Structure 1
């Protein structure tokens, strides 16, 4: 416990004991010892109040503590020792309560600092070797035993079960797949796992959280008292009323009575308690707010500006398809298996996406040999006796671009996809297409922001205009500004700030200037510490953007409650001051009345700790488990959905082979329809319970029926083509395939936004 907390506790204990002892002495008929005890308590309060005033003067800050000082001194001067003792108890209790509230606001974060990982175990040919966490470098292979804390950010080399509650607040263990990123600070809740470090300890998530805690604590101590805003007006009014009461009645006791009931504890305590309660609630939701001032500015925001990558989108590329040559060659699955096997040894951001996709498809990966990585070009090595090369087209293809590669590039340009080119044994083998998907919860979050009082939502990104417009339309923003560099973002924030208070949300280094210029900067630091987190006023330590909407709701509710507490408390105090000035309220009774007023104001302020309005949907544990199981199945059938388009593309020239279509139909009828039936029977009732009615699920139910109808039409069409298909027949088949693909893509996006985004971390969604 820190020394000033012990000092506050000692002061409160001393004045309370002295006041109680004086009451006991009066009850025993010993008036003299009682007066001595009360005078001592008053003097202790006066000394503490004097020290507080001197500190305020040194900071050049106005303070209404002067009223408490005058009340204590006045009580001693007119012989009202009991009133002075009660004021001392009130003052000491107030500072102790404020200190306790501040400690509560930081408790959740301080616990993270205490458990920061100190060591790591490097995986070597001779076995794991323990080293200081500070010595880990990117690319190191590490082993994390059961129950151990992950020391640095890394990429899993195998499946894992992790306890992420320290960072996210989610109490249930989360299953992660090979190739997924894992953050430092989480606990291995399963068998030992192996990972490849992608950052040093200093640049990892946990170190960033520790720095954020230090910043939040520095910004929050001391909290700005709402009373200081009224000091310049409240103190003169109080002194004037006390002086008039003394002059009219000729009795200084009336003036002291006015000062006693004017002691502004509702201002000194109620507002800070409400604000600190908001900081505590936000921290439990995975939102670090750097002080009460930032919380108030967050509540005042009217315009939200978003960066795109990593904010409205997942910030992690996801494999969408593998395009292979039309002529006989390696199958798409084999190209992916070879590429993912090679990428197991790479720390590149795209490598994890390929490894994860391969594991999702149940492909068997092997250890590569002779791996060489050429920064800026790609990686090459030997897998199962084949020389595999991945990277940029110019480096991988090494010659004229085949027509199928041009087709893949054109498709990638239309879809806004990234491309990774693959060559096997020096022959072009495939093009892997990857996308950065829109976060499924982003559209719901934007709607929640509007419900919380945000008037305007703007997308500001350095990405291409067509990609930015597509994301903006899906999410539902009011304006899109694309191809912006950091200076452009800064200018846009300043322009919006002139019209209304702004909130800027970003997660990249290039967002830091805009975050600093906005009324409130919000950074996403769930995957590590960046310059944006250092520049921001609010930091999301959970990888869910919808936490921002809850933080704004918390901030606005706390500001309203603070206003209610202050208004009610000061209104009652003003009424009591007028009664005291009229001579109807002696100092001792006024002191007791002021205690009651303080308790009423504090009780109002403490309601900020109670749950308020939230856009987060509460689900039963059994429903969460069922939804996660269905999401795992949903994720497993994604490659089958992409296969619909691949099969349709292959029917572009004779001879038309319908065998792939029939094989696809078998899978659709056995796997996809079974999954859709399970969602209809299990997922939609969960949604109805969570969202309050079956109307919320009617759209998804209708698309389930349409998917089954379109698969049936496709089956009947293909079954009628018993002979070799003609061009006209294939046109119908391709039309049905493309139509089915569009419905499935739209349906998957609707399910992820409307259903799976309600689940706390369902095993993060990968596609828009």
Structure 2
């Protein structure tokens, strides 16, 4: 039975073809009676197939346009046109085969996701790795993933790894992950064998969630497809009336049969679903799972976009932005960070992960911590390299007086909307770590791309405070900002916007799930795991690249247009053929052959949906991607130096004004920062010009490179001209140049991250 389900279209087509050819051969040999008998047998085969499909539709309580094909087959036998009946049978067989093959091809990307789901895992034991079913993995299991193997469940790396994440992200370039980073199931180990600790079960893992989303996507029909079915059914009485009129007016039943032969609405039955499924397939190839044709159509119709901020426009995870040290100068910023990160290795707190990541990015050597005690919600303390280290909130450092420089850092954090982690070394306040949730570099590009894709209004909806939300909204370029929103507020805003135009809501948190479910289309970001928001959404991005949404909208609109065109062309040609047949100029045999050609043309148009169309995502050669990632790594490494410019300027506040930190900073700027900027000018600018279209796209960044070098040169000349201790006016000039340089560097870095580094997905992950 299973074999028949898989091969019935092929078997039907082969049988119909052989019988038709056999009859034609007999006719050529002059045995017309045997030829007619063979063609009649072919027609009976078609009748049997049509009858089976009609019965199946009746059991599903669905009307079926196959009644026209059944009447046409019966009519050819009645009027003595068995050859026409045989051609109709071949038409039905070829249509069924084309539909099966086209849908199989269109669903290939979706099916491939489910088929490669990991089934086994290797548990690391004292006796060595033991292979077990993936369903037996429990949280905390230590697993081994060999080279070329699929990561079976979500986990945390115990060592560095090189991973191929293309199955989930669509990005072909393997990425390097550090020890302690979380990885998702379904990705492939592209390097040497690695070990990881399972953080979820198989059922709750990312890949299992993706497979569930795929199953939902495959189970739904589009409104347009259902509309096509209704139109096809409405076509039945029109066909019967025209066939009856042709017979009644002329008395020739052959004309009625000819009308029925060319009236089968295969273009509607086949072309529309193929185009829609092709669109879903095309989107899945780029890391966007669309849950069925209905979601694709609503995505194509969307005009108003509502965006959550945290995790959507921002990275959703804190990142270290600066290290403020005490005025005593006992510890440098790197040493303070090293001690803090060494202690935080023992903590599972999200801020601890950011601090440890920042220390590893700066290639600092971390030491084991001893006597670690963590007070949840307040902080952590322990001994590192003989020093008693305490981290946490200001209230968590009770009993330690807060000096003026620490209060200043706290005020600065409030102005920048940063998070603060206070550090005490041997019960003495030593520094403050500033962290913030950074804006995604590609967020402004995404909003611009969405507008060109047809979005007319962009609304930022967030639970964050108004000043922070307004700042993000200005940078990204939204039309309206709604801050301090609860989940109920977001739901009300979605319903209000839905009254005026079709809406698309984008979010990633559990609190976004109600709004995602209420929107015309809910879009969830699930690059870090399938959550409640992904389950509630209609569209799920498995890539950590939100520009993919603009490409998905373009794909949806293009495929909907292709579906309309294929149906219009097919039905238009069929209608013309019906009129010609009713007028007596198209005999049944010729009509059957013509209808076959119309079906093939309509399906061919529908299949063009699989061809890549216009997209906003820039595809770079692998060599350019490698260069971009290398330059971005250097870009990250000089970030602390940029922040040091402001720190040095801040420290020039009270006499005596020591210039040694300024001279040391200048040396670092010349040796590291200028070398990096020159490398970017030589290597980064050509890549940007090739990717985005000409040298004009790089002129602003090149001008900023020149300005940075000019300002560092001015500062260098000013400091070199000073002899002895500077006076107040000298310090004022130095601070003015330092603050100006800091502002230029911050703006320049943001422009580079948005303009060119956002072209690859790796930099978007802090």
| 8 Å Cα contact 1:288/1:540 also seen in 2 | yes
Q: In structure 1, how many angstroms separate the alpha carbons of the residues matched to 2:87 and 2:233?
A: 26
TM-score where L is the length of structure 2: 0.94
The alpha-carbon deviation at position 625 of structure 1 amounts to 2.1
| 8 Å Cα contact 2:154/2:205 also seen in 1 | yes
The corresponding residue for 2:87 is: 86
The alpha-carbon deviation at position 383 of structure 1 amounts to 2.5
User: Using a 3 Å threshold, how does the CA distance of structure 1 residues 381 and 10 change in structure 2: closer, same or farther?
Assistant: farther
CA-atom RMSD in angstroms: 2.4
User: Using a 3 Å threshold, how does the CA distance of structure 1 residues 393 and 105 change in structure 2: closer, same or farther?
Assistant: farther
Residue 375 (structure 1) aligned with residue 376 (structure 2): yes
Matches within 5 A, 1:534-683: 534-683=535-684
The corresponding residue for 1:419 is: 420
The corresponding residue for 2:446 is: 445
The alpha-carbon deviation at position 558 of structure 1 amounts to 0.8
Q: In structure 2, how many angstroms separate the alpha carbons of the residues matched to 1:607 and 1:207?
A: 31
User: Using a 3 Å threshold, how does the CA distance of structure 1 residues 243 and 670 change in structure 2: closer, same or farther?
Assistant: same
The alpha-carbon deviation at position 714 of structure 1 amounts to 1.2
The alpha-carbon deviation at position 683 of structure 1 amounts to 1.0
User: Using a 3 Å threshold, how does the CA distance of structure 1 residues 2 and 496 change in structure 2: closer, same or farther?
Assistant: farther
Matches within 5 A, 1:483-522: 483-522=484-523
Spell out, residue by residue over 1:120-143, the C-alpha distance to the aligned partner (whole angstroms, 9 max, x if none): 556678976766655656666655
The corresponding residue for 1:240 is: 241
| 8 Å Cα contact 2:757/2:763 also seen in 1 | no
The corresponding residue for 1:692 is: 693
The corresponding residue for 2:534 is: 533
User: Using a 3 Å threshold, how does the CA distance of structure 1 residues 416 and 105 change in structure 2: closer, same or farther?
Assistant: farther
TM-score where L is the length of structure 1: 0.94
The alpha-carbon deviation at position 296 of structure 1 amounts to 1.3
The corresponding residue for 1:101 is: 102
User: Using a 3 Å threshold, how does the CA distance of structure 1 residues 376 and 48 change in structure 2: closer, same or farther?
Assistant: farther
The corresponding residue for 1:66 is: 67
The corresponding residue for 1:50 is: 51
Q: In structure 2, how many angstroms separate the alpha carbons of the residues matched to 1:145 and 1:329?
A: 47
Residue 764 (structure 1) aligned with residue 764 (structure 2): yes
Q: In structure 2, how many angstroms separate the alpha carbons of the residues matched to 1:378 and 1:498?
A: 48
User: Using a 3 Å threshold, how does the CA distance of structure 1 residues 7 and 711 change in structure 2: closer, same or farther?
Assistant: same
The alpha-carbon deviation at position 60 of structure 1 amounts to 4.4
| 8 Å Cα contact 1:299/1:559 also seen in 2 | yes
The corresponding residue for 1:717 is: 718
The corresponding residue for 2:232 is: 231
The corresponding residue for 1:209 is: 210
The corresponding residue for 1:349 is: 350
| 8 Å Cα contact 2:458/2:478 also seen in 1 | yes
Q: In structure 1, how many angstroms separate the alpha carbons of the residues matched to 2:141 and 2:412?
A: 37
The corresponding residue for 2:30 is: 29
Q: In structure 1, how many angstroms separate the alpha carbons of the residues matched to 2:646 and 2:527?
A: 35
Q: In structure 1, how many angstroms separate the alpha carbons of the residues matched to 2:649 and 2:3?
A: 70
The alpha-carbon deviation at position 297 of structure 1 amounts to 1.3
Q: In structure 2, how many angstroms separate the alpha carbons of the residues matched to 1:207 and 1:422?
A: 41
Structure 2: runs of 5 or more not aligned: none
Deviates more, 1:484-493 or 1:98-107: 98-107
Deviates more, 1:509-518 or 1:625-634: 625-634
| 8 Å Cα contact 1:157/1:179 also seen in 2 | yes
Q: In structure 2, how many angstroms separate the alpha carbons of the residues matched to 1:567 and 1:561?
A: 10
Spell out, residue by residue over 1:573-613, the C-alpha distance to the aligned partner (whole angstroms, 9 max, x if none): 11110000001111111000111111221222222122211
SS at match of 1:528: coil
The corresponding residue for 2:431 is: 430
| 8 Å Cα contact 2:400/2:428 also seen in 1 | no
Matches within 5 A, 1:173-322: 173-195=174-196, 197-219=198-220, 224=225, 227-322=228-323
| 8 Å Cα contact 2:278/2:609 also seen in 1 | yes
Residue 468 (structure 1) aligned with residue 460 (structure 2): no
The alpha-carbon deviation at position 36 of structure 1 amounts to 3.0
| 8 Å Cα contact 1:139/1:347 also seen in 2 | no
The corresponding residue for 1:744 is: 745
SS at match of 1:312: coil
User: Using a 3 Å threshold, how does the CA distance of structure 1 residues 260 and 127 change in structure 2: closer, same or farther?
Assistant: closer
Spell out, residue by residue over 1:471-512, the C-alpha distance to the aligned partner (whole angstroms, 9 max, x if none): 111111111111111111111111111111111111111111
